[in-house]
Structure 1
Amino acid sequence: MTRTNIPGTSPYEPIIGFSRAVRIGNHVYVSGTGPVGAEDASPAEQTRVALNIIKAALEKAGAGFEHVYRTRMFLARVENWEEIGRAHGEVFGKILPAATMVVAPLLNPRWHVEIEADAFIPEA
């Protein structure tokens, strides 16, 4: 199977050594995506920013949100779970991927959330 690395715009990519997403065959794996540039935004808005970055990576890989079957949300603080969850639901409320929320320290202390996504593109 062919592997395609999909770069993003994160300043951390060259430092850490990762791609925003990787497509292998019909599978797309989107790296943990923080709300770069929205450090002062609310948890919900940071979630929307991270999801927009994920959307761009999926599109570069030939996929869309409708192909996402799994998300993982890493929350800096448990008390923000509902606000972050509602913003996630704005995108995935009808798609209903398997989803997980985990509370963990994040790379940037001003981030409220970081999100990963996995997608599968069915055969045409």
Structure 2
Amino acid sequence: MALVKRVSSGGKWEGLFGYSQAVAVGPLVMTSACAAAVDGRPSMIDDPGAQAKEAFRSALDALVRAGAGIGDVVRSRMYIVNPEHAEAVGLAHGELFGVVRPTATVVVVNCLTHPEQLVAVELEAFRGWRE
């Protein structure tokens, strides 16, 4: 039976909605969607690149707490509310993951959970076969 490690940010939504910020099971670590927020409110309003960087920092922090690192990231997903934000968000991704080069998907969505959220990101990592 695989050991499962669940990582929480301590935010109220995790308990209310019944999810973890990250889950590690065997060699895999996955994050829930992360956004740029302070005390549950969007931050860096009107700056999709800055929101992406902060969202990736939050997701990477969760990965580290679950036992993975940036070099273990194999897949990223970026959810944006405006296709014009793709370049700024992609450049933020490139700054962080240019050497790692995980697979990457950008999805344009109608909206996120708060109207000032422009970007949400998810990461998946593979820690190799560890005993």
Q: TM-score range by the shorter chain?
A: over 0.9
Give the TM-score normalised by structure 2.
Answer: 0.89
What is the distance in 1 between the residues matched to 2:60 and 2:82? 24
Paired residue type of 1:110: E
Give the TM-score normalised by structure 1.
Answer: 0.94
Give deviations 1:26-79, integer Å, cap 9, x for gaps: 110111111112152511110111011111101101111110000010001111
Task: Point out the more displaced range, 66-75 or 5-14.
Answer: 5-14
Once the two structures are aligned, what percentage of the paired residues are identical?
Answer: 33
What is the distance in 2 between the residues matched to 1:5 and 1:101? 26
Q: Is the Cα contact below 8 Å between 1:5 and 1:19 reproduced in 2?
A: yes
Evaluate the alpha carbon distance shift between residue 113 and residue 17 of structure 1 in structure 2; reply closer, same or farther with a 3 A threshold.
same
5+ residue gaps in structure 2?
none
CA RMSD of aligned residues (A): 1.3
Q: How many residues align?
A: 124
Aligned ranges 1:19-58 → 2 under 5 Å: 19-37=20-38, 38-40=43-45, 42-58=47-63
Deviation at 1:123, TM superposition (A): 3.7
Q: Secondary structure at the match of 1:28?
A: strand
Note if 1:84 corresponds to 2:89: yes
What is the distance in 2 between the residues matched to 1:106 and 1:63? 27
Deviation at 1:13, TM superposition (A): 1.3
What is the distance in 1 between the residues matched to 2:67 and 2:12? 24
5+ residue gaps in structure 1?
none
Evaluate the alpha carbon distance shift between residue 41 and residue 59 of structure 1 in structure 2; reply closer, same or farther with a 3 A threshold.
farther
Runs of 4+ in structure 1 deviating by more than 6 angstroms, as ranges, are none
What is the distance in 1 between the residues matched to 2:123 and 2:73? 7
